Structure 1
Amino acid sequence: MTATRAKVPAKRADAQRSIEAILDAAIRSLSRNPEASVSEIAKTAGVGRVTVYGHFPNRADLVEAAMTRAIADGHAGLEAVDLSGDPREALARLIDSSWQLVSQSRSLLTAAQDVLSPGRIRELHAGPVERVEGLVERGRAEGVFRTDLPTTWLVGVLHSIMHSAADEINAGRLTPDVAADYIAATALSAFTPPSLAG
């Protein structure tokens, strides 16, 4: 009886380690190639396809779990960013900490868009988006960010600038060491009220 009880937690721990290895492999594989197959992910994880399917019934479930984990990991890191004080300076700090995460997750997002609904993708991004929206709203209330455009539009513009920076780096026209400064300068210019821009 005691021996049986001792084996159950060990089995659960092994299963959890297996799941973590599969998710790590899925994030790495899908970040390189959004069309990565379950076989490729299993090989990267060092397990068989049967093991992957034992935890994730289909590729869509695996992609969703990988996206959920990547967003949670990224959001946890961004929680440490100080968003107090001048909203413009706080936005620059947030950009400095987050733009590479956005860049690295682009292919993973492409994979997710192939198998998940737009509504589900919005749900998965809700936490990080709310953080940025809260900062933009505070900047609008303090008169340093424009109010003639919706907050959701401004947040969308910020993400577009980040993606453009990643494209420029891939094309060899921008170096990673200056990307955050370029993104911040462009975003702050776009966020500044017309009355303060002149």
Structure 2
Amino acid sequence: MCQMRRMECSEMRTDATDVLDAAIPVLVRDRGASMQVVAARAGISRATLARMFPTRQAFVQAVAAKILDDCDSALTAAESGSGLTDAALAGLTAEYIPFAQLWNLVYVEPDVLGAPEAAERAERIFARTTALMAAGQDAGILRTDMPATWLASTFCGLAETAWELTLEGHMGTRQAPSFLTAVLHHGLAAAR
């Protein structure tokens, strides 16, 4: 039965999170991608996408909410404990993709910028990232001769670069976290 109606069966198994995960790279490559293009690349019909997200604005806002939720989760994990440790920094870089997406989509997508709650959440996430970098400075694992805001911006910018390179096939998905950690430890490390 599923073989005869493969599209319907695969759509029944598709949830909104799967669609959003598939859609984010589409929007990175083409911020103006139509709902039809997004649906095709996510492997679902336009009608299914419309049932999940009735308007493009609702869809883009759902993308932003997922990215922001993922950033919150990664920060919460890195913040648990006392100060920023080498292990917490490695854990944060392992979860770099939402920060790349935050930098790439949430700050530039006009539909998201029109949603004050998304912009406010993005500001809070960046403030938490900055505070985490300041904790790393206090712990002596990140250099102190640069502002924590610079370190947070550098992390997000490097995360965006790493993610784009993986999407384009220039680096492996497992390489990116270790490269980010190496740059943060050696390029931003406190003099020892």
Scaled to the shorter chain, the TM-score interval is 0.5 to 0.7
RMSD, aligned CA: 3.7
1:113 aligns to 2:109 (yes or no): yes
State how far apart, in whole Å, the 2-side matches of 1:171 and 1:50 are.
31
What letter corresponds to residue 25 of structure 2 in structure 1? Answer: S
- TM-score of the pair, normalised by structure 2: 0.65
1:59 aligns to 2:85 (yes or no): no
Residue in structure 2 matching 1:29, options 15, 23, 29: 23
Structure 2 segments unaligned to the other structure (5+ residues) = 1-13
Deviation at 1:182, TM superposition (A): 1.1
State how far apart, in whole Å, the 2-side matches of 1:158 and 1:118 are.
26
Q: Which residue of 2 aligns with 1:191?
A: 188
State how far apart, in whole Å, the 1-side matches of 2:74 and 2:106 are.
22
Bigger Cα Rg: 1
Worse-matched range after superposition: 140-149 or 114-123: 114-123
8 Å CA contact 2:78, 2:92 repeated in 1:
yes
1:70 aligns to 2:71 (yes or no): no
* Identity rate, percent: 18
Bigger helix share: 1
Deviation at 1:86, TM superposition (A): 6.8
State how far apart, in whole Å, the 1-side matches of 2:50 and 2:70 are.
25
Residue in structure 1 matching 2:146, options 135, 144, 149: 149
Q: Which residue of 1 aligns with 2:93?
A: 95
Q: How many residues are paired up?
A: 170
State how far apart, in whole Å, the 2-side matches of 1:52 and 1:165 are.
29
Q: Which residue of 1 aligns with 2:4?
A: none
8 Å CA contact 1:25, 1:44 repeated in 2:
no
Q: Which residue of 1 aligns with 2:81?
A: 84
8 Å CA contact 1:95, 1:184 repeated in 2:
yes
